[in-house]
Structure 1
Amino acid sequence: MSTTILVHERSPAPATGGTLIADGLAMTGRHLRKIKAAPGVLILTQTMPITMLLFFGYVFGSALAVPGQQYRAFLVPGLLAATAANGLMTGMFQAAQDCDRGVMDRFRTLPMSRAAVPLGSTAAEVLTTAAGLVPLMLVGLAAGWRIEGGAADALAAFGLLLLFRFATSWAGYWLGLLIRNEEAAGQLGSATFILPLLSSAYIPTDDLPGWLRTLAEWNPISALAAATRDLFGNAAPAADAAWPSAHPVAGTLAWAALLLAVFVPLTVRRYARGGRA
């Protein structure tokens, strides 16, 4: 007489609104406590823009000319945009670190929404970025940058920066789930430093060669940098630029919506499947 043993795999909790919100808040708290316990990556990513402001603004500032304004006033919004885009690196590193240390496998055994883990991480990214942008803005004010627009426009600029950080964090989290190795993610993350260099974050794109200018103006970071300058009242977008840079607020919203539409489902699916391709 044969005996059949049935093994039931625990299925995830249904992704209802209440479950997703509660589980997502729990994961957000977990990531914030993790950052508090090991703040090295946060300190590095938040102090780097300030270092770059001091370096570019005072070392190279006299050699770089921006029509109609001081270079430091041009640079600060670009650094804010580059900081928001840095969610690609931090999201990738956090996901790869949890995979490499087996944390993801333990999370998958818990009866909670599959979207809660990446949602908690990306939400924590938004909160830490909101706090980290303040010192950069204060140093920028001390360096000569000014918010010349209205309060509503300034808040809209801040909101765009956080929205873009949220979107790039999802893209980075998906990459981290693919890489699944902490050291490899750290090495690849350092390569993302080139993305703001290929944008209008640090220099105007007007004098770039034709093909390079097109590439820079279609870079999502260029749209965000132009939108931030426009909303802070620092500079009007160039009328002859590519569409995302000529209409930077709409362009930034479009880029953020595209990133979220692509990478939210990809990330949740990849997380649910674990190490399977």
Structure 2
Amino acid sequence: MSQMRWALSDYQTIVQQELTHLVRQPSLIAWQLGSPIVMVLLFVFVFGSAMDIGGGADFTSFAMPGMFAMTMAFGFMNTAMSVAIYKEKGFIDRFRSMPMAPSAVVTGRGVSDLIHAALDLVVLALIALAIGWRSDGGLAATLFAFGLLLWLRFALIWIGVWIGLKVKNQEAAGNLFALAFPFGMISSVFTPPSLMPDWLGAIAMWNPVSSTANAVRELFGNPVPLGGSWIEQNAMLMAVTWPALITLVFLPLAVRKYQSLGR
């Protein structure tokens, strides 16, 4: 029990340090608030006027849940970049030299990033409401939908931490954005997989982002892509299962990589 209290105290310190850093960096807050606005303007108003998802469905109602899921998905690269910067500047070495619980830095980073993600989600939801998007699924279903979005972000945090610890520097982490972009875009975020070429549609259907996007659409009472595949028919189940599998794989990898630094 004393070791557990020690670990909890250490990760609470890391969370407090991360949130203090955010408050003292107004540019980060401005970027956090401005980025969702730009994304909505670009994907919903600029590209949306040319989009037809079939069935006479309103594109804004279809796209906004996808935007929520895509924002959660892209966030893991911000995690990777932050961890890479901390490692390059020696902050992580400083933490490792202290009598801290081995998992505190990794778990503390994960919790603080989840708080950041919740703030992103609040801003994006307010923008969606301002442009006319509504949830027709009731309060409980709506809250569960936002919980699924944060569950996806929570799982992807550990991929970001693992990548940030594995790359040599922040430039290498920045180069990985080119790989992260297709992860969010080749999905059902903006286009039903049934409208894509068969091979690309199959990739999009099995993308974890698609499962979360379709599940929250269903919970919000928004248009859901029509498809007869097993993965599309069980989007709710996979929206819970995919993040659980990702966490089971990458959380231990991230902790192990942190513990092996400098060996």
TM-score tier by shorter-chain length is over 0.9
Letter paired with 1:273 = S
In structure 2, how many angstroms separate the alpha carbons of the residues matched to 1:179 and 1:160?
29
Q: How does 1:104-183 map to 2 (within 5 A)?
A: 104-183=92-171
Q: Secondary structure at the match of 1:146?
A: coil
2:204 aligned with 1:227, yes or no?
A: no
How far 1:236 sits from its partner (Å)? Answer: 4.0
1:251 pairs, out of 238, 256, 260, with 238
Bigger mean CA deviation after superposition, 37-46 or 180-189: 37-46
State how far apart, in whole Å, the 1-side matches of 2:240 and 2:120 are: 22
Unaligned runs of 5+ in 2: none
Matches of 1:205 and 1:46, distance apart in 2: 30
Relative to its length, the structure with more helix (as a share) is: 2
Question: Is the CA contact 1:95–1:180 (under 8 Å) kept in the aligned structure 2?
Answer: no
Does the 8 Å CA contact 2:192/2:225 hold for their aligned counterparts?
no
> Any residues of structure 2 matched to 1:11-22 within 5 Å, and which?
16-22=3-9
Opposite residue 263 of structure 1, the aligned amino acid is F
Q: What percent of counterpart residues are identical? A: 38
Equivalent residues of 1:28, 1:123 under 8 A apart = yes
Helix, strand or coil for the counterpart of 2:191? coil
Q: Deviation string for 1:106-134 (max 9, x for gaps)?
A: 11111111111011111111111112211
Q: What residue number does 1:215 align with?
A: 203
Residues 211-241 of structure 1, C-alpha deviation per residue, up to 9 Å, x if partnerless?
A: 1000001111111111111111113463513
Does the aligned pair in 1 maintain the 2:74–2:184 contact within 8 Å? Answer: no
The number of residue pairs the alignment matches comes to: 262
Which residue of structure 1 lines up, in the alignment, with residue 254 of structure 2? 267
Deviations 1:134-156 (A, max 9, x none): 12112112222111101001000
State the TM-score, normalized to the length of structure 1.
0.88
Partners of 1:39 and 1:224 lie apart in 2 by 31
Superposed CA RMSD in Å reads 1.9
Quick one: distance in 2 between partners of 1:157 and 1:238?
19
Which of 80, 95, 99 is 2:83 aligned to? 95
Alignment of 1:44-59 (within 5 A): 44=31, 46-59=33-46
Cα distance change, pair 184–103 in 1 and its aligned pair in 2 (3 A): same
Contact 1:100 1:182 in 2 (8 A): yes
- C-alpha separation between the residues in 2 aligned to 1:198 and 1:164? 16
* Separation of aligned partners in 2, 1:50 and 1:246: 32
Residue 42 of structure 1, CA deviation: 5.3
Moved more, 169-178 or 50-59: 50-59
TM-score (norm 2): 0.93
After the TM superposition, which of the residue ranges 49-58 and 121-130 deviates more from structure 2?
A: 49-58
Amino acid at match of 2:180: T
Deviation at 1:63?
Answer: 1.4
